[in-house]
Amino acid sequence: MFGIKPAGLGARDVLRLEAGMMLYGNDIDENITPLEAPLKWTVKLEKNFIGKKALGKNEPKKRLFGFEIIGSKRVARQDDQIIYEGKNVGRVTSGTFSPTLGKSIGFGYVPPDMQFGQDIQIVICGKDYDAKLRSTRFYKK
């Protein structure tokens, strides 16, 4: 019907990660603020709304970044550790191999002062893999 073919959850995860879309329960939940996830555009801080006071008085303690694994096609999974300068600084929330980009990509929370382009490691099955922080939007049309 309509030339549409079924696709599974794996296909959905690849497409949403490439497009920078977060999955509730993995990347965002009721404990994540729009300032921690890249969702600041969803709130207008100059207007009055329920929760404005809570957002205004607390600086984000973490921030959702994208990452790409360098030199390997290994896929990071939820709760894998993110290492920076030998210290565990965060955790992976989602990961997959992107056939469009030809590399493994994912999302993870790290301290808010980290920057795009910083070198990190992702611990996958007990082994460190080099990775680089980047935007959560991997694919742009």
What's residue 5's pLDDT? 67
CATH superfamily of 9-134: Aminomethyltransferase beta-barrel domains (2.40.30.110)
Task: Say what the pTM is.
Answer: 0.87
Report residues of the chain scoring pLDDT below 70: 1, 4-6
Please report the pLDDT score of residue 1 as a whole number: 54
- pLDDT for 140: 78
- Residue at token pair 């965002």: 28
Instruction: Let me know: does 93 contact 100? Beta carbons within 8 Å.
Output: no
Which pLDDT score, from 0 to 100, does residue 95 have?
Answer: 96
Q: Rounded to an integer, what distance in angstroms lies between the CA atom of residue 63 and that of residue 109?
A: 5
What's residue 6's pLDDT?
Answer: 59
Q: What is the pLDDT of residue 134?
A: 96
Report residue 6 as tokens: 């079924």
Give the amino acid at 98.
S
Domain residue spans of the chain: 9-134
* Residue 128, amino acid: D
95-117: pLDDT as tens digits: 999 988 999 999 999 999 999 99
Q: Which long-range contacts (CB under 8 A, 24 or more apart) does 115-123 make?
A: 116/65, 118/84, 120/67, 120/82, 120/83, 120/84, 120/89, 121/82, 121/83, 121/84, 122/67, 122/69, 122/76, 122/80, 122/81, 122/82, 122/83, 122/92, 122/95, 123/80, 123/81, 123/82, 123/83
